Amino acid sequence: MPISLTWMHTHPVRLFAIACCLAFCCIGSAQANEEDDDGEEATEAKPEFVYEVDPYYTDVGYNIPLTHRPIPTIATNSEAVILRELIKGSLVPQYMLVEASMYPMPLLGTYLKKHTPDFYKQGNIGNNFNIIDSLTAGFQEPWAVSLFFGNVAKLKRPKEKRKGNNYGYTGYLFSAGTKHIKSNTLVDDEWCELEWKIKGKLEYDDEKLSWSFRFGGKFNRNHDVNNVTYINLHRSNTDLRSKYLTWLENTNFDFRLHFLQHGGKLVRSELIAGKKVPLLGYKFIPTFSTGFIWTSPDEYSGFLKDATANKLTFVIRPSVEF
């Protein structure tokens, strides 16, 4: 019997378990040695652990090749060329990533509101602003487990010789979890997300660049959390060669829109942008981001629909990049 959207809505975690079983049945391992266009040995496709640590997004994952092909190399300085090459052939997945992630600052917000309510209330400034809300707002889940199926490519500057690799990914991501965050309160909700995404990360001694584009849908078992379709754009750039007042360098931005799956109404929008301040002689870079999150009362139904007007949350995100 085919899996319907209704079944996905009522059994998101079971669907994720089935996807895991199918994924591991398809795992194959291979070794290959070829040469890329620059005459150097191609990167061998082999399993590896990856991780990322950040106050707002921390994850650990395991990359698994699904074919005998070595990882291809994209040698260019153009972001447009990188995006074009990553999209090519993305319909046939050749790589899998198993990932577990958690969101420390949003988790901290839920903890403080539940276990230290008096301290939480001390963050109130006026009637409609709370500094803890602003520092922890963003993610609507405290944690997630994910499966990514797609392609991976090694990224580098032309003629560059360096140890280590930068990678770009494009493909399909399936995520699931058991909790939802609403106004820094944990809500029981088995949910799953299906999305197509393209992302990349470049790290050099004098420059760092990361970007991602995602489009997908989120399905919730809790009927009071409405199902949505979303689009998300993210870009972050650190360039130690540029002048501090250069507007487009040493910046980051994140833009996200949520639409109801039934009716297509816009119910959530996020826009967060920031500036980085490279410090000569130091290995860390202070970052300050700010923005807003706009939500419609129609983002929720039933008992969770406790508002009658749109809500605007001011976001503050200080951070440090290493």
Quick: pLDDT tens for 178-196: 999 999 999 999 999 999 9
Percent of the chain surpassing pLDDT 70: 82
The whole-number pLDDT of residue 146 equals: 96
d(CA 236, CA 275): 10
Radius of gyration of the chain (CA): 21
Whole-number mean pLDDT of the chain? 83
- Asked if the model's pLDDT at residue 79 lies above 70, the reply is yes
For residue 290, the surrounding DSSP H or E stretch is strand 285-295
Q: Does 2 or 247 have the greater pLDDT score?
A: 247
The whole-number pLDDT of residue 213 equals: 94
The whole-number pLDDT of residue 203 equals: 83
The whole-number pLDDT of residue 90 equals: 72
The whole-number pLDDT of residue 31 equals: 34
Of the candidates 204, 245, 174, 218, the one whose C-alpha atom is nearest the C-alpha of residue 21 is 174
Q: H-type helices in the chain, by residue range?
A: 5-10, 12-25, 79-87, 104-115, 117-121, 131-136
The whole-number pLDDT of residue 60 equals: 95
pTM, rounded to two decimals: 0.82
The whole-number pLDDT of residue 12 equals: 61
Percent of the chain surpassing pLDDT 90: 48
Instruction: Give backbone dihedrals phi and psi of 117, rounded to 5 degrees, phi first.
Output: -60, -35
The residue extents of the domains of the chain are: 13-103+139-221, 223-322
Express each pLDDT in 186-243 by its tens digit.
Answer: 999 999 999 999 998 888 877 888 899 999 999 999 999 999 999 999 999 888 776 6
Contact 112, 131 (CB under 8 A): no
Of the candidates 226, 218, 144, 243, the one whose C-alpha atom is nearest the C-alpha of residue 182 is 226
Express each pLDDT in 9-68 by its tens digit.
Answer: 556 655 555 555 545 454 433 333 333 444 444 545 678 888 888 888 899 999 888 887
Q: Does 17 or 261 have the greater pLDDT score?
A: 261
Cα–Cα distances in angstroms (integers) from residue 204 to residues 62, 239, 240, in the given order: 23, 9, 10
Lowest-confidence segment of 84-93, 210-219, 305-314 by average pLDDT: 84-93
